[in-house]
Amino acid sequence: MGMESFRVDFIYESTTQKELVDYLKTGFKIENNYFRARKFFISKNVLFENSYRIEDYVIAHFNDSETTFSLEACFSNFEKYTVSFYQIYLFLNEKFDVKIKLGKEPLIENLDFPNFQKLLNDFYGTKYDSFLEKYSIKNTDMFTGEFFYKNYKKVK
């Protein structure tokens, strides 16, 4: 996770990654995530295991060794992606027991949207302000990582 992105971790128990992913597919556009691998003369798409794109710009990373997954998105559309994270959280909580983990400890209580939004604003506010100051990009759908920096050069 770089300067351009933010994430929220989630803990799930009494279910599997496959069940979560299959359930997400019933409510969201979700597909396996790929990255471009460069070799000397060719570039090809390589599948990231346990990583999915949800509604194009939100990335879900599942951790094999734990019962956790992370949602990651770009600060370029922080408000929209905050809503997306919350919608995914609510959707999964309809069927599974999913807890939010921001920082070291998971939150015990379920959050309504204003409290979820406040939590993210408090946790990422300084980083988001730094992003806006450096890149001046707001309300724009963009990928994270190297894709952000390539697109930023084109937008600049």
pLDDT tens digit sequence for 38-58: 655 665 555 567 889 999 899
**pLDDT level of residue 131 (50, 70, 90 thresholds):** very high
The arrangement of strands across the sheet holding 43-54 comes to 30-38, 43-54, 58-63, 68-74, 5-12, 98-101
CA distance 66 to 68: 5
**Residue 9: its H or E element:** strand 5-12
Q: Please report, for the chain, the start and end positions of each structural domain, with discontinuous segments joined by +.
A: 5-155
DSSP H helices in 5-142: 17-25, 78-93, 113-135
**pLDDT level of residue 11 (50, 70, 90 thresholds):** very high
